[in-house]
Amino acid sequence: MSGNHNTIAATAPVPPASEQANAGAAAGHVADDLQGRTWQTASDEDLRVGLEKAFDYRGDVTITRKDGTRIEGYIFDRQAGSTLEKSIVRVIPQDQSIKISIPYSEIAGLAFTGRDTAAGKSWAAWLKKYLEKKAAGEKNIELKPEKLD
């Protein structure tokens, strides 16, 4: 990241994409441990991978621009182009109703600052709970969605 990385609260960084072991992780699924972490953007590919994870994340993300400004909000769309200049991420800033577009080329770093409302609420998590209840002898186990708080 640029010299602005020290403005983000002290968090455990996420290793660059080139160093991450994603074995067993299904495409389009975010690891539950991103909440509260920063994403290292050592290369264009690291930035692209980080923005994909940020898109899948169900909490607010803080984007630090190369000019030092920060935008915290929900990433609801991204359009990957052939270059960073032609790629954009679309964000609804926190406590605002506007939607803004930010070119990837303007992004220096990412931090997963908001609570991930979907953490632990995946199909795999539900299935694990179901199988535990079944193994304990429970009957009439229902498929009920969990509250998002």
Q: What is the CATH number of the domain that holds 113?
A: 2.30.30.100
- Would residue 7 count as lying in a domain? yes
Which residue numbers in the chain have pLDDT < 70?
Answer: 1-32, 116-121, 143-149
Bridge partners (DSSP) listed for residue 70: 64
- Would residue 54 count as lying in a domain? yes
Structurally, the chain folds into a number of domains equal to: 1
Q: What integer pLDDT is reported at residue 125 of this predicted model? A: 77
- Would residue 61 count as lying in a domain? yes
CB contact burial 46-74 (16+ within 10 A = b; e otherwise) = bbbbbbbbbbbbebbbbbbbeeeeebebb
- Would residue 78 count as lying in a domain? yes
What are 59's two structure tokens?
């909490």
Q: What integer pLDDT is reported at residue 149 of this predicted model? A: 56
- Would residue 48 count as lying in a domain? yes
pLDDT tens digit string along 9-32? Answer: 334 444 444 444 343 344 344 445
Q: Which domain holds residue 10?
A: 3-118
Q: What integer pLDDT is reported at residue 18 of this predicted model? A: 42
